Amino acid sequence: MSEFRPALRFERRLLSRERGTGIFGKLWQIPWLLVLLLCAVAGIGYVALYSAGGGGVEPYAGRHAIRFGFGLVLMLSIALVDIRLIARFAWVGYVVGVGLLVLVALHGQVGGGAQRWINLGPVQLQPSEFMKIMLVLALASWFHRASWERIGNPLFLVPPIILILLPAALIFRQPNLGTALIICMIGGAVIFAAGVRIWKFALVAVAIGASVPLVYQNLHAYQRARITTFLDPESDPLGAGYNIIQSKIALGSGGFWGKGFLQGTQGHLNFLPEKQTDFIFTMIAEEFGLVGALMTLGILACVVAFGFLVALRSRNHFGRLVAVGLSSNYFLYVFVNIAMVTGTIPVGGVPLPLISHGGSAMLTTMLGFGLLVSAHVHRDVEMAAPRESG
Amino acid sequence: MSRKQREEERVRGIFARRAALLGIGQIGLLGFLAHRLYRLQVEEGERYATLADENRLSARLLAPPRGRVLDRQGLVIAGNQLNWRALLVAEHTTDVAATLETFTRIVPLSDAEKARIEREVRRRRRFVPVTVREFLTWEEMARIELNAPDLPGISVDVGTTRIYPEAEHLAHMVGYVAPPAERDLDGDPLLELPGIRVGRAGVERHHDLALRGRAGAVQLEVNAVGRVIRELDRREGVQGQDVQLSVDAELQKSIRGKIEEGTSIVLMDARNGEVLAMATQPSFDPNLFNSGVSPAQWRQWTANRATPLINKATNGLYAPGSTFKMVVALAGLEARVVTPGERINCPGHMDLGDARFHCWHRAGHGGMDMRAALKHSCDVYFYELAKRVGMDRIAAMARRFGMGVPLEIELPGARPGLVPTREWRQAQGKPWALGDTVVHGIGQGFYQLTPLSLATMTARLATGRAVQPHLTRAIGGRPVRGSRPEDWPSLGIPDAHLRLVRDAMWSVVNEQGGTARTSRLPPETGAQMSGKTGTTQVRRVSREQRERGFRVEQLPREWRPHALFVGFAPHDNPVFAVAVVVEHGTSGSGAAAPLARDVLVEAFQRLRPGPGGMLRVAEASR
């Protein structure tokens, strides 16, 4: 904590071009390539939403651009916040996140058969999205303090597992199986990166495998239906399997070059469900073909890869773990969403952040990227792990 | 510090390996998605493109208007008129029964109607509209439109319905139409359209394919809920062709006005077989079949002993009586068993074994040659002639004249009738006796002949050609074969024989002592009729009755003999052939011949055979 000196002179903080110090210095350090990539992703979203809106700025594309603008400001603001400050208040964020999950369980808005939303006047907040980021911070903070020996101690692993399972259980009760699993995977990614031995993961995997039948019995009927229709979508072509079938038809019929901008028949004739949110990628693939789909996928992959590069270049453990966790978070969004619309895994109501229409996911995603950029900006900051003090 | 640095390095190394593993794994999974996209969009792309087209494209059939049926003057005797109807598309409603329930509150439906609708909904594909109710009034239509939000799946459209302006007058020839039954579905997609009708009887049935036309189609782009976005392609159907008949509707109506229940009259153009009128009483109104015949109406028709649904001109079976004698005479001449001048004595009866066969003239005609025997309709002459010729040759001659064989008339179900032969009788396990031949020589016995076949026989007699009776003049404006006399082959009977018989028939009407002397044509027609009367018993007259001085007028009506007459005119250059059957008319000369005269007078007036003998006709317009 000795490096954290708020008493630096204003001019120096403002003008220093030294790494990690001064506002201009920090702005210099911001990875503008990543910002460019994110703008490209949002631009793809704008084009797709323009088409989903029937060829108009209203009702989706315009609002998407405005939200992204706000999101960009939020991201850059957070990027300038010192990572040590973030590490210090990681626990507060985690507690707030869990508190919001409890609140949504008690007073949430029902959406899609589950309590997921908190209505904050103009904004509807989905606490589970916020929770993912706070979990990453909390876990990173925990393992940042750990010495190699302590990581080897099984008892040391109990608190992080509780950190993961508490929000996962709350989200599972909403009920939202998909997000609960994603929470576990993000947590798993951080723990894995922190260096926990592989055989311990194998043990957990076996335990999970053994509990699958038990979990399946406690699944909601609609969750079971999703699994059944995933395994055989044609069994219920007008009911639950309709979304998957129509999405695959839209994707496949796009072919190599696509049907052309605003020419997607599946999307524009409303065969494609929820085309502006969960199935926005289908819209892109139908109108711009394999070419457009792979370009989109490529840019998204670059974003994920960039996150890992940030992690590898960071010299403090907190920054590394935050970067891995947040990159994995974005990767899981991308993977689950595209796997879902291609009929590779069951439909789970996961949007494609920065492309899908929706404010809550956009803001939490940009919050996450803000933290990632902060980790990059402050990659050389020395963070003493307060081993004993806690 | 160095230990700490070492540990730092170690942790950093482990982290770098694991982070790289995670990162590479994640990029690898995204690569897997790329592969999956390639599979869907390139390898299976064509299949999905087809599925996408199936989603958005919807073909709808366009029903062409059914062709009209016209009479020979171009008068519409079967046409189309507008018809507002309510349709139900099953896939646009979640609950067919509930929709029908709501509909009933606006336009009442009977339980039978509801059952029919639900049956059709089950039978047809879910997007095919089913007719709920036809012939809506304007007010009902407006009420349905107003309540449209509460009636999912219901729509109102305007179609056409068949109308028969002449109602019952031509019903037996034109027939009627009805919704297609299961067995009518021949693969023509047109038949699946709501409100479509197929011909069920008469010309409507015989020329159904020509009248029906071919369905057009529009290809539409529809969205997920089936709303039409735009029309992509339109292929017009082929409208049904008009069929022009040879009948004259006005003449037909006028003739029907003259006749009573149980009477059939067939008037033909003797030269080409065109049927000009074919009147029977009673008849039915084919318009009633449009909206479905009520059970009460159906019972009334089927329970009526006068059988209004049956065309007695083609399906009524009668013994020809004396009108058959020309055939026996020609068979005799051809077989050379008699010469025209040979006189056969008629003492009033003929004995054969212990049976005695009476002549209608109990006192006897004395010596009769062929002409006199036909003129006076002497029974004994023809008993003797039949005995000489034999039944086989009589039957063969009858068939050449179109009796007992199927005729080409375009009326489905028309009966060929029966001319008995020895084989036919033996097939029934009964022997054929000489007495049977004798009786059949005067047209009595087992004969079952239709008025149409009697008219055909007369036309062939008058022209010497094997004309076939037919109703069609033109289809779609193109004349059909058979309208010229040269279209028909000769019967192969020597002119001398035919002239002799025709001359005898002339004497029947125009000479003192002929049986139809009172029915000769009035001078203003400028033509003379030739003909032959016939009277056939429907009950055997017992000897006891005969001895008591029996008079037919005393019999109840249904026991009185049928009255028949066949004739042609003008005698020298025949144009018209006519056959009249008056059930229980008592006497051919008294009841049938005057009717034939009246029909011919009217025909001459109305159809005015011109210098070339052509009958008045208007060419059908397409």
- CA-based nearest distance A93→chain B, Å: 25
Name the stretches of chain A with pLDDT < 50.
1-4, 6-8, 11, 15-17, 20, 113, 386-390
Q: Report chain A residues whose CB lies below 8 A from the CB of B19.
A: 193, 308, 311-312, 320, 324
For the segment A1-40, what is each residue's pLDDT rounded down to a tens digit?
A: 444 454 445 545 554 445 546 778 788 888 999 999 999 9
Q: Which B residues 447-506 touch A at CB under 8 Å?
A: none
Whether complex ipTM tops 0.90: no
Taking residue B392's Cβ as centre, other Cβ atoms within 10 Å add up to 14
Is B36 touching A (CB cutoff 8 A)? yes
- CA-based nearest distance B79→chain A, Å: 42
What is the pLDDT of chain B when averaged over all its residues?
88
Nearest to A271 among B18, B23, B224 (CB): B224
**A12 or B547, greater pLDDT:** B547
Q: What is the largest CA-CA distance in chain B?
A: 162
Percentage of residues of chain A with pLDDT beyond 70: 83
pLDDT of residue B347: 93
CB pair distance less than 8 Å for A297 and B15:
no
* Chain A residue with minimum CA distance to B222: A269
Q: Is B144 a residue whose pLDDT tops 50?
A: yes
Q: Report chain A residues whose CB lies below 8 A from the CB of B222.
A: 269
Is B189 touching A (CB cutoff 8 A)? no
Give the mean model confidence (pLDDT) for residues B543-562. 73
CB pair distance less than 8 Å for A251 and B37:
yes
* Chain B residue with minimum CA distance to A190: B19
- The token duo for B94 is 């979640």
Substitution target in A41, A151, A245, A269 with the highest count of B β-carbons within 10 Å is A269
> What class is the B59-245 domain?
alpha beta
CB pair distance less than 8 Å for A297 and B33:
yes
Give the mean model confidence (pLDDT) for residues B138-161. 84
pLDDT of residue B560: 87
Chains A, B: CB contacts within 8 A come to 139
CB pair distance less than 8 Å for B41 and A285:
yes
Substitution target in B6, B21, B46, B48 with the highest count of A β-carbons within 10 Å is B48
Is B127 touching A (CB cutoff 8 A)? no
Domain ranges of chain B: 59-245, 249-282+311-607
Give the C-alpha distances (Å, rounded to integers) separating B468 from A232, B230, B317, B400, B495.
Answer: 67, 54, 19, 11, 20
The 3 state secondary structure assigned to chain A is CCCCCCCCCHHHHHHCCCCCCCHHHHHHHCCHHHHHHHHHHHHHHHHHHHHHCCCCHHHHHHHHHHHHHHHHHHHHHHHCCCHHHHHHCHHHHHHHHHHHHHHHHHHCEEECCEEEEEEECCEEECHHHHHHHHHHHHHHHHHHCCCHHHHHCHHHHHHHHHHHHHHHHHHHCCCCHHHHHHHHHHHHHHHHHHCCCHHHHHHHHHHHHHHHHHHHHCCCHHHHHHHHHHHCHHHCCCCCCHHHHHHHHHHHHHCCCCCCCCCCHHHHCCCCCCCCCCCHHHHHHHHHHHHHHHHHHHHHHHHHHHHHHHHHHCCCHHHHHHHHHHHHHHHHHHHHHHHHHCCCCCCCCCCCCCCCCCHHHHHHHHHHHHHHHHHHHCCCCCCCCCCCCC
Displacement of CA B33 from its chain's centroid (Å):
69
Give the mean model confidence (pLDDT) for residues B68-73. 92
**B245 or B616, greater pLDDT:** B245
The DSSP 8-state label assigned to residue B239 in this structure reads P
Is B222 touching A (CB cutoff 8 A)? yes
For the segment B279-310, what is each residue's pLDDT rounded down to a tens digit?
A: 998 999 998 887 778 888 889 888 888 889 99
- CA-based nearest distance A250→chain B, Å: 7
Give φ, ψ of B409 to 5 degrees: -55, 140
Give the C-alpha distances (Å, rounded to integers) separating A262 from A17, A77, A247, A266, B233.
Answer: 47, 36, 17, 11, 21
Q: Do B489 and B434 touch, CB atoms closer than 8 A?
A: no
- CA-based nearest distance A260→chain B, Å: 14
Q: Is B579 a residue whose pLDDT tops 90?
A: yes
CB pair distance less than 8 Å for A289 and B30:
no
For the segment B123-133, what is each residue's pLDDT rounded down to a tens digit?
A: 776 777 888 88
CB pair distance less than 8 Å for A327 and B41:
no
Q: Please, what is the end-to-end C-alpha distance for chain A in angstroms?
A: 13
Rounded Cα gap, residues A290 and A302, in angstroms? 18
Is B20 touching A (CB cutoff 8 A)? yes
CB pair distance less than 8 Å for A311 and B19:
yes
Q: Do B451 and B266 touch, CB atoms closer than 8 A?
A: yes
pLDDT of residue A4: 47
* Chain B residue with minimum CA distance to A198: B18
**A21 or B190, greater pLDDT:** B190
Q: Report chain A residues whose CB lies below 8 A from the CB of B33.
A: 297, 335, 338-339, 342, 344
CB pair distance less than 8 Å for A148 and B7:
yes
- Position B622 confidence tier, pLDDT thresholds 50, 70, 90: very low
* Chain A residue with minimum CA distance to B28: A301
Give the mean model confidence (pLDDT) for residues B30-39. 95
pLDDT of residue A347: 60
Q: Is B339 a residue whose pLDDT tops 90?
A: yes
Q: Does domain B249-282+311-607 have CATH number 3.40.710.10?
A: yes
Give φ, ψ of B391 to 5 degrees: -65, -35
CB pair distance less than 8 Å for A328 and B22:
yes
Rounded Cα gap, residues A380 and A83, in angstroms? 11
pLDDT of residue A120: 61
Percentage of residues of chain B with pLDDT beyond 90: 51
- Position B197 confidence tier, pLDDT thresholds 50, 70, 90: confident
Q: Which residues contact B564 (CB under 8 A, 6 or more apart)?
A: B318, B320, B321, B322, B323, B454, B533, B534, B535, B536, B579, B580, B581, B582, B588, B592
Nearest to B26 among A248, A317, A328 (CB): A328
Is B57 touching A (CB cutoff 8 A)? no
Least confident range of B272-276, B288-292, B349-353? B288-292
- CA-based nearest distance A272→chain B, Å: 8
Is B11 touching A (CB cutoff 8 A)? yes
Give φ, ψ of B616 to 5 degrees: -60, 135
Angle at A63 between CA A62 and CA A64, to 5 degrees: 90
Q: pTM here? A: 0.64
CB pair distance less than 8 Å for B40 and A251:
yes
- Position B89 confidence tier, pLDDT thresholds 50, 70, 90: confident
